[in-house]
Amino acid sequence: MLIFFRSPVAYLAVESHAKPNKTDNDKLKWLFGNATHIDTDVIEGIFVGPRKEW
């Protein structure tokens, strides 16, 4: 299962074996700089990634 988040500068995807509970979602939201959870299975568009962090 992929869980999607959107920050002001990027879309983020997290792979999980189970749907996260509210506490887990809140932790991921904090980890990604207050990113918004997107409740969908697919995000349309052209995306580049993953990329190496320096």
Model confidence over 6-50: pLDDT tens digits?
988 888 989 889 988 999 999 999 999 999 999 888 888 887 777
- Evaluate if pTM is beyond 0.85: no
Distance between CA 49 and CA 26 in Å, rounded?
Answer: 24
Answer whether residue 53 is part of any domain.
Answer: no
Report yes or no on 12 lying in a domain: yes
Any domain includes 44: no
Domain count, the chain: 1
Q: Is residue 49 part of a domain?
A: no
Nearest-angstrom CA–CA distance, 19 and 54: 31
> Is residue 34 in a domain?
yes
For 7, the domain range is 2-38
Assess if residue 16 is contained within a domain: yes
